[in-house]
Amino acid sequence: MSINDADFRYIRQLVKNRTSVTLAEDKAYLVESRLAALAKKTGASSVSYLLRKLRSQPFNRLHLEAIESMMITESCFFRDRHPFTTLQNFIIPELINKRQTQKRLNIWCAGCSSGQEPYSIAILLREYFPQLTSWQVSLIASDVSQTILERARQGCYNHYEITRGLSPDLRAKYLQRRDKYWQIQTEIRQMVEFIQFNLTDKWPPMSSLDIIFLRNVLIYFEVDTKKVILAKVREWLKPDGYLFLGAGETTIEIDRAFKPVQFNKTTCYQLIYS
Ligand SMILES: C[S@@+](CC[C@H](N)C(=O)[O-])C[C@H]1O[C@@H](n2cnc3c(N)ncnc32)[C@H](O)[C@@H]1O
């Protein structure tokens, strides 16, 4: 069975209203396969029955689950490698130097999905900057989806996931085997605070940030939404802080308050007056 245009438009609108994510016109197959999985999980007899239920009820937990199931949550450890090399070789050493007096670093990973990104940062800090254990390091990771955050908090990954981006040395040092899965060591998990946060809602108060990872998230939004989000990022980023975007994302022609800063193969962004 394939979902009809009206049902596809309904799901697109539901997702858009809640998250501002625009599902591309050609994503009907994705909507259908994810609704099929949700129907199975919730005991609905078919996708059509699930859609009827969604359409006939006021917004509730089922709608949230349907929306969350549509998110693209692709991630991996040390994704694209170069941003993490830049963090290790340039940015963390620079910030350690500059923040000697306060001994405090604030890092935020927005749209963190299943947690590989914030855990990669935590592993990098523990592995290469042991001196930071005596600092106050806040590493906040957020996502709109409660379901994916629950996975992230558990920090359990399958064999395929742990072989993507993690060297055997780091795997042996920072993950523990648990039956069919490998779990991020408690000490590393405790370095990350996961919070549910919709980038298109009102932003909660947060200490100003030294580093923001906002990678492979803006790509799903229309330009006007990107503008609104980047304007808020501006308020949260310290004048000498760094913003990391995904490889296919940029602030150029979206927000002139940012300037690209090149470190070998990585482009980061800083506020123009820094
Ligand atoms: C493709 S993943 C990126 C994961 C990670 N940053 C990386 O680059 O590997 C995009 C994430 O953005 C989240 N997301 C989508 N819309 C969002 C919104 N409005 N607010 C917060 N997170 C959102 C999704 O749930 C998903 O986990």
For 211-223, the three-class secondary structure string (H helix, E strand, C coil) is EEEECCCHHHCCH
Residue 100 phi/psi, 5-degree rounding, is -55, -35
Burial category of 154 from C-beta neighbours within 10 Å (exposed 0-12, middle 13-18, buried 19 and up): middle
**Closest approach atom of ligand 1 to CA 111:** 12
Ligand 1 in contact with 225 (CB < 6 A)?
no
Contact 184, 126 (CB under 8 A): no
> Does ligand 1 come within 6 angstroms of the Cβ of 67?
no
**CATH of segment(s) 5-69:** 1.10.155
CATH architecture under which domain 82-271 falls: 3-Layer(aba) Sandwich (3.40)
Residue position matching structure tokens 């625009």: 22
Instruction: Give the dihedral sign, CA 164/169/173/177.
Output: positive
**Which atom from ligand 1 is nearest to the alpha carbon of 199?**
20
Beta bridge partners of 141: 109, 194
pLDDT band, very low/low/confident/very high, at 236 (cuts 50, 70, 90): very high
Same CATH fold, 82-271 and 5-69? Answer: no
Residue 144 · residue 71 · CB < 8 Å: yes
Ordered by start, the domain boundaries in the chain are 5-69, 82-271
Q: How far is the CA of 201 from the centre of ligand 1 (A)?
A: 14
Mutate to test the pocket of ligand 1, among 21, 120, 143 (most ligand atoms within 8 A of CB): 143
Interval 71-86: pLDDT, tens: 999 999 999 999 999 9
pLDDT, tens digit (0-9, with 9 covering 90-100), for 47-60: 999 999 999 999 99
Task: Express each pLDDT in 101-123 by its tens digit.
Answer: 999 999 999 999 999 999 999 99
Q: Which two tokens stand for residue 241?
A: 């802080």
171 Cα to the center of ligand 1, angstroms:
24
Interval between CA 230 and ligand 1 midpoint (Å): 15
The tokens for 68 are 């969350």
Contact criterion met (CB below 8 Å) for 42 and 53 = no
pLDDT at 65 over 70: yes
Report the nearest atom of ligand 1 relative to the CA of 200: 19
> Distance between CA 7 and CA 4 in Å, rounded?
5
**Per-residue model confidence (pLDDT) at position 1:** 54
The ligand 1 atom nearest the CA atom of 76:
9
The Cα-based distances of 71 to 18, 147, 188, 270 in angstroms read 11, 11, 26, 29
Q: In this predicted structure, what is the pLDDT of residue 273?
A: 76
**Residue 256, phi-psi category: left (phi > 0), alpha (psi -120 to 50), beta (remainder):** alpha
Q: Whose CA is nearest to atom 27 of ligand 1?
A: 113
**Percent of the chain at pLDDT above 70?**
99
Identify the band that residue 235 occupies on the pLDDT scale cut at 50, 70 and 90: very high
Pocket test for ligand 1, best of 144, 194, 198, 225 (most atoms within 8 A of CB): 144
